[in-house]
Structure 1
Amino acid sequence: MTITEPPPFEPSKIELNSVTDSKIIAVSLYSTRAEITRLFKFEVKTGQNQVHIAGLPNVLETESLRVEGRGAATIHDVTVSMAKGEHIPTSSPKLSELLSQREKTANALARCEKALTSLEQYLGSLTVQHLEVSHLDKVLEQYDSTGGRLDVKKTELTEELRRLDAEISDERVLIAVPHENSKLRMQAAIGVFADSEGAVEIALIYAVPNATWTAFYDIRVDMDTKEDPVTLIYKAAIKQNTGESWDDVPLQLETSTPTFGLGVPTLSPWNLSVYQPPPPMQMQRAVKSARKSRSFALPSMPALPLASAALLGGEDEYQLPEMRYEDASVTSKGNVSATFRVPGLVTIPCDGDAHNFTIVQLSLKAAMSWVSVPKMDAKTHLNARITNASEYTLLAGSASVYVDGSFISRSDVPAVSPQESFDCPLGLDPSIRITYHPVLKTRSQSGFYTKTVTHVFSQRITVHNTKAVSIEHLKIVDQIPASQDSQIEVRLVNPALVLPSEGGAGTSKRASVMLKSQPQAPVVNVANGIVAQWDGTDESAVDIDTLGRDRKLNWVCAVPAQGKINLALEWEVTAPARVHVVGL
């Protein structure tokens, strides 16, 4: 009895190209890479189908590829490979035609030059014996006519040859240009088993590098607006050079950064022991060995560079600083991450250029403040304390700052979570004029047996607000000297601030003290709308016990429109008469 085996089963083969047979339906863009979702729709036959997808980007991260399907079919296996390199042509029909024309033109030019040479030789061979004088005129006329015709032909052929050479060069450059799909040579093979014939959908989801986005901002400040004076335009600069063009795609911007193989670091044991010097015999052997090795050192061995010597524990105390790497990732301080969806569909070509999109425009509250250090510079700096009252997480990025429609400066915005605040410098405000008057000095001496010298210094500062509106928070920063020797005593007279370590804020004849809840920072009311304090008092994370140690103080002032205020700083320096004080 003969057993007939069934014929071998050949799976149905389906050839697809990612550029022409699919559409990008989602792009999630991270700070250093993008996740692409491509959707393919095609017909399958009952049974096994082998789907071959070509035209995927070369930079596709194969470990990230996953396949999802919809329809009456089952995905069996997925393999990814790089297509073999295409044969780069070295010729073309046009190039062959141009080369043929050039050869014909070159031959014609050679014949023309040979004819001119023969004409010259013929004229030179004529003698009196072979040519009668009566025929000389006719011969010269024919020579001139024939030579002129050949000269014109030679010029035309030379120009034609030059033109053909230029066209041949251009055609060879055109042939050498890689095809547009040279960056799309990755391919995927997917086994699909279909229960029945019909249409199915397969989505390829994969990650690609060479795609980035960074945040940047336009900050516009209207000084005449009291309610929400700051308009912040949140923008994204997107670059991609993945090999494929993103045409009419929904774009989602992610603030998180994918990590690979990242774990919690572990601490190695930290042991302490007593140093045990080696025995004398071992030390002598070590010295002899070192001398011997130096005597047999290769003379051509170059000296270690400074950085290498430092790494090997060289004796030079100077070491080059370690290189720093800029961290490209941004972590949201509110939630773990935030996601922004760009409105509508966007198109981002594969060109590596920055394409800018607006995420949102926000109206934010801000507290304006002015600060000046007139001892160093009488200019007044304007600053805005902006509160992010929106639901958007602001990533770190650069900002172009405009005040009343005029470009002021470029600044950096830190990472800011919702309801968090950040400082934004707004440049100089020339309408606040500060005069730092010359310091007045007096000297007195006291004591009979132990003589002491007291120097009294008085500094006056005048502030003029030329604005038509009042300002509420102007900070003037100054300092008094700090003693570095117990023989020198420095005492602040006016304003009557004391150090927290000396009993906190006290009262004086010159000013009253504003009491605060414990622990207290010394604050003195100098006049109506003017408060004196140690510099740093109004900072949130300040250690009160450290206030005043650097002897820096400031006045926080409210200045009326078109008004002037005067600030006074007075201090005493006392030292023995025999001591020469340096720095006064």
Structure 2
Amino acid sequence: MEIPVETVITAVAVYPDRARVTCRGRCELPEGLHQIVIGELPLALEPESVRAAGAGTARVRLRSVDVHRRHYAQTPAANVQALEAQIEKLQDELQALDDRQAVKQASIDHLDGLREATTEYAWGLARGRSTVENQANLMRFFEEEDARLRGDLRALDTEQRDLKEQLAKLQAELDQLRAARPRQRYETRLEVEALSAGSFEPEITYVVGQAAGGRTGWRPLYDIRLLEPSGGRAGGRVAVTALAEIVQNTGQDWSDVRLSVSTARPALNQRVPELKPWFVDVPHPPQPLPRMAHAKAAAARQDFAMESAAADAAPAAMMMAPIREAPVEVEVAEVQDSGTAVSFAVSGSVDIPGDGTPYKTTIGQHDLTPQLDFLAVPRHTDAVYRRAKFNNTTAAPLLPGPASLYAGDEYIGQNRLEYTPTGAEIELILGVEERVTVKRELVRREVDKRLLRDVRQVVYGYEIKLENLLSTPARVTVQDQYPVSRHDQIKVRLDRVAPEPVEQTDLHILKWQIDLAPAEKKIIRYDYQVEHPRALQVVGLLD
């Protein structure tokens, strides 16, 4: 006996590149063998992933699970059928307008034919069968009727144009929905044996992957806000809000479902990486690409950059709404760590459309204590950057994803978080601090003018001026450099530096940590000397 069962989606677990869906239905089973038919399953379904279970008052033995495609005469989705009905109605209305236009045009053609019969009217007037007044009345009739008919035609054209615009809009929506909801769908047949009569609730789970019209999965988004204390007090905190952006284009709406998002990647856990031969060779000059290949590569890079900017700009625009005085409480997801993956169970039920429209939900809010300082690289810019370092003290790792950065209520730009496990440190640049200034000046340049020497000696001296206009102390990390020689006849030596740097590398990178009290100014000074034979041409110096 074949028993069709309608099911509803009750739970969805979303992975970065796919999702696991759970459906449940209900039916009455008499004793005996039956085929439980569950239809209208999406084409994005992976047939080998379908699993069946169930419970009820009937004693049921599951014998087999079969999955195959079914072709429908009409698209099964209700909203697609509604669109198709609207389009058919508009097409009928357009046909009626075409018929009315044809009638009006035939009347105009008839009037034109009567107007052209001037010879007959002249003979009637000459023989006394018609008068001049009658001829005048007839001409006025022609004019009035012609004006009326042409006015009716213009009104019909306007009405027809409006209907065509509506038809084009509905047709575009239908094409989009048909791409996600084709007339082919999967159907699952459960062969069961009812050992006793009663009710039975079949449950199937399946995995949906990448559909033809788009992707299914989720990615993390972050809103990171630096909240500084008021009243000039020291300290501060970083508020991190984690969001999950979920997209599914399976053509099957997830309505009123229990939702969880997981960091597991099922597709990556199926095969152990295989080692390939490791070759060592001499360098070969790169082969020039054809001109067309260069153009295609450049176009691909540009498209990728535009898509990334658009994808990163969307959450930023959403987060720019001002904070209310009495903010609403945000419900966050429950973290479930299984050791191999972390899942975030969203409270309540959610609705996610099956047409690829992004759905965002908050999965975490955390207040973290940062170490705040400032960073200056005055050789390149006079901007002083605000920097925050903090540890991930949350119960879950921070996954890689774009982050919108704020200083208080001010949006300061975009950054990207890398994977940060619990306990690891995060370093973020949180905009420019205008109230801490830095200026680098060349204050000394002396050339040895002793002509008897065959060595040219140049001394350069720099000053880096710092000022703190904040009402609180500021620690500024200053980075600068002096040149590195790549020739054995060019000698570079650091002569004098005050204060001493806290770090100096072999590549002549200097680093200072300067503590500034409110309204305090400090100066860093250093000189370096460059020597080389006069006949040797040196590149890379200021002169």
Q: Report the TM-score when normalising by structure 2.
A: 0.75
For residues 537 and 92 of structure 2, the distance between their equivalents in structure 1, rounded to whole angstroms, comes to: 97
Q: Please give the secondary structure, in 1, of the residue aligned with 2:437.
A: strand
Of residues 221, 227, 230, the one that matches 2:238 is 230
Of residues 40, 65, 76, the one that matches 2:50 is 65
| 8 A contact 2:234–2:472 mirrored in 1 | no
Q: Which amino acid aligns with 2:36?
A: V
Residue matched to 1:15:
4
Residues 115 and 169 (structure 1 numbering): CA distance in 2 closer, same or farther, change over 3 Å?
Answer: same
For residues 578 and 306 of structure 1, the distance between their equivalents in structure 2, rounded to whole angstroms, comes to: 38
**Within-5 A mapping of 1:61-210:** 61-71=46-56, 72-86=59-73, 99=95, 103=99, 106-107=102-103, 110=106, 113-114=109-110, 117-118=113-114, 121=117, 123-127=120-124, 130-131=127-128, 136-137=131-132, 139-140=134-135, 143-144=138-139, 147=142, 150-151=145-146, 154-155=149-150, 158=153, 162=157, 177=174, 182=182, 185-209=185-209, 210=215
Residue matched to 2:430:
426
Residue matched to 1:28:
13
Q: Which amino acid aligns with 1:559?
A: L
Q: Which amino acid aligns with 1:204?
A: I
| 8 A contact 2:228–2:236 mirrored in 1 | no
Residue matched to 1:557:
514
For residues 172 and 346 of structure 1, the distance between their equivalents in structure 2, rounded to whole angstroms, comes to: 32
For residues 192 and 524 of structure 2, the distance between their equivalents in structure 1, rounded to whole angstroms, comes to: 84
For residues 175 and 29 of structure 1, the distance between their equivalents in structure 2, rounded to whole angstroms, comes to: 31
Residue matched to 2:254:
246
For residues 443 and 154 of structure 1, the distance between their equivalents in structure 2, rounded to whole angstroms, comes to: 97
For residues 242 and 114 of structure 1, the distance between their equivalents in structure 2, rounded to whole angstroms, comes to: 57
C-alpha displacement at 1:559, in angstroms? 1.0
Of residues 475, 478, 483, the one that matches 1:476 is 478
Which ranges of structure 1 fall in alignment gaps of 5 or more residues? Answer: 1-11, 274-304, 312-319, 497-525, 536-547
Query: 1:51 aligned to 2:36?
Result: yes
For residues 451 and 155 of structure 2, the distance between their equivalents in structure 1, rounded to whole angstroms, comes to: 111
For residues 391 and 97 of structure 2, the distance between their equivalents in structure 1, rounded to whole angstroms, comes to: 75
Q: Please give the secondary structure, in 2, of the residue aligned with 1:571.
A: strand
C-alpha displacement at 1:470, in angstroms? 0.7
Shifted more, 355-364 versus 574-583: the winner is: 574-583
Q: Which amino acid aligns with 2:138?
A: Y
Shifted more, 53-62 versus 169-178: the winner is: 169-178
Sequence identity (%):
23
| 8 A contact 1:65–1:205 mirrored in 2 | yes
| 8 A contact 1:69–1:75 mirrored in 2 | no
C-alpha displacement at 1:458, in angstroms? 2.9
Q: Please give the secondary structure, in 2, of the residue aligned with 1:58.
A: coil
For residues 307 and 13 of structure 1, the distance between their equivalents in structure 2, rounded to whole angstroms, comes to: 62
Q: Which amino acid aligns with 2:494?
A: L
Query: 1:532 aligned to 2:527?
Result: no
For residues 491 and 443 of structure 2, the distance between their equivalents in structure 1, rounded to whole angstroms, comes to: 19
Residue matched to 1:217:
222
Residues 40 and 476 (structure 1 numbering): CA distance in 2 closer, same or farther, change over 3 Å?
Answer: same
Q: Which amino acid aligns with 2:110?
A: K
Residue matched to 1:292:
none
For residues 207 and 138 of structure 1, the distance between their equivalents in structure 2, rounded to whole angstroms, comes to: 87
C-alpha displacement at 1:454, in angstroms? 5.0
For residues 408 and 428 of structure 1, the distance between their equivalents in structure 2, rounded to whole angstroms, comes to: 9
Q: Which amino acid aligns with 1:187?
A: E
Of residues 483, 495, 498, the one that matches 2:497 is 495
| 8 A contact 2:399–2:418 mirrored in 1 | yes
**What per-residue deviation string (whole Å, max 9, x for no partner) do you get for residues 274-299 of structure 1?**
xxxxxxxxxxxxxxxxxxxxxxxxxx
Residue matched to 1:512:
none
Residue matched to 2:313:
none
Q: Which amino acid aligns with 1:140?
A: Q
Residue matched to 1:366:
370
For residues 70 and 37 of structure 1, the distance between their equivalents in structure 2, rounded to whole angstroms, comes to: 14
Residues 455 and 260 (structure 1 numbering): CA distance in 2 closer, same or farther, change over 3 Å?
Answer: closer
Q: Please give the secondary structure, in 2, of the residue aligned with 1:259.
A: helix
Residues 54 and 474 (structure 1 numbering): CA distance in 2 closer, same or farther, change over 3 Å?
Answer: same
Q: Which amino acid aligns with 2:395?
A: E
**Within-5 A mapping of 1:250-399:** 250-259=258-267, 262-267=270-275, 306-307=288-289, 335-399=339-403
**What per-residue deviation string (whole Å, max 9, x for no partner) do you get for residues 170-228 of structure 1?**
89866994787546722122211111111111111111123121111111112336555
Residues 384 and 113 (structure 1 numbering): CA distance in 2 closer, same or farther, change over 3 Å?
Answer: same
Residues 99 and 431 (structure 1 numbering): CA distance in 2 closer, same or farther, change over 3 Å?
Answer: closer
Q: Which amino acid aligns with 2:225?
A: R
For residues 566 and 172 of structure 1, the distance between their equivalents in structure 2, rounded to whole angstroms, comes to: 72
C-alpha displacement at 1:129, in angstroms? 5.3
Q: Which amino acid aligns with 1:466?
A: L
Residue matched to 1:276:
none
Residues 308 and 68 (structure 1 numbering): CA distance in 2 closer, same or farther, change over 3 Å?
Answer: farther
For residues 495 and 572 of structure 1, the distance between their equivalents in structure 2, rounded to whole angstroms, comes to: 12
| 8 A contact 2:41–2:186 mirrored in 1 | yes
C-alpha displacement at 1:452, in angstroms? 5.9
Q: Please give the secondary structure, in 2, of the residue aligned with 1:114.
A: helix
For residues 103 and 438 of structure 1, the distance between their equivalents in structure 2, rounded to whole angstroms, comes to: 86
| 8 A contact 1:445–1:452 mirrored in 2 | no
Residue matched to 2:464:
461
Residues 234 and 485 (structure 1 numbering): CA distance in 2 closer, same or farther, change over 3 Å?
Answer: same
Q: Which amino acid aligns with 1:561?
A: P
**What per-residue deviation string (whole Å, max 9, x for no partner) do you get for residues 302-353 of structure 1?**
xxx95489x9xxxxxxxx99x9999x9xxxx995321111222111112322
**What per-residue deviation string (whole Å, max 9, x for no partner) do you get for residues 111-147 of structure 1?**
6743663476375252565217xx6145336525754
Residue matched to 1:507:
none
C-alpha displacement at 1:488, in angstroms? 3.9
Q: Which amino acid aligns with 1:428?
A: V
Q: Please give the secondary structure, in 1, of the residue aligned with 2:135.
A: helix
For residues 166 and 457 of structure 1, the distance between their equivalents in structure 2, rounded to whole angstroms, comes to: 77
| 8 A contact 2:90–2:167 mirrored in 1 | no
For residues 444 and 97 of structure 1, the distance between their equivalents in structure 2, rounded to whole angstroms, comes to: 95
Residues 490 and 269 (structure 1 numbering): CA distance in 2 closer, same or farther, change over 3 Å?
Answer: closer
